[in-house]
Chains A and B, each alone.
Chain A
């Protein structure tokens, strides 16, 4: 499969707790991005981390990238009910012909209970 794998597939936490989602991928990449999708909506970009970066922060989001393990994690701190959504990782990189390839993970469904 060309898809990235994410785990867990579903996660349910209490408001105020932290949520951690993981993404593994198979090919070499230039960048890895995380997106959020609310039910019935399109995806919304959250954060991009380059292959030469190890960690990045944006507000309550913290992303790590380990290219040796081909994995990334997204941490949402102090979760809120409004964070309830599906979260996807996406990778980009050139194939052997030089064409950019974009691959999305299978997603983690996060439910934050008030």
Chain B
């Protein structure tokens, strides 16, 4: 298996633009997680899905952030409009059980200018 795939790997955009980050989990994994990592705040869980259904979105910072999982093999995290403080590395992770090892993707480094 190729592991968790994220795209793009790097994204540079201007403030106010819409940003869409994409994730393909490992086949057979029915849990998918979105995290954000910054120097100031560390690694934060934004939202996670089970069987394509959002279970906990309490970490989503504000209404500008939204996440979807239309099917078992694809998820998106959208920021609209983007702001400079959204600059961070965004990770997607998947697993086949509610607790246990999570498999992380390589991350998307987002820079909002």
Contacts and interface: CB of A to CB of B under 8 A. Distances in A.
B73 interface: no
B43 A88 contact: yes
A88 B105 CA distance: 16
Given A42-B104, A45-B101, A102-B48, A3 B42 contact: yes
Interface in A1-55: 3, 30-31, 33, 41-45, 48
Interface residues of B, number: 22
Contacts, number: 47
Given A30-B99, A42-B91, A107 B105 contact: no
Contacts of B101: 33, 45, 48
Contacts of A100: 55-56, 98-99
Main secondary structure of the interface of A (DSSP, over half): strand
Q: How large is the interface on A (under 10, 10 to 19, 20 to 34, 35 or more residues)?
A: 20 to 34
Contact of A106 (B42, B103, B104): B42
18 contacts: A41-B106, A42-B91, A42-B104, A42-B107, A43-B43, A43-B91, A43-B102, A45-B103, A48-B100, A92-B99, A100-B55, A100-B56, A100-B98, A100-B99, A102-B45, A104-B42, A104-B43, A104-B44
Which 7 residue pairs are nearest across A and B when measured between Cβ atoms?
A: A42-B104, A45-B101, A104-B43, A43-B104, A106-B42, A92-B99, A102-B45
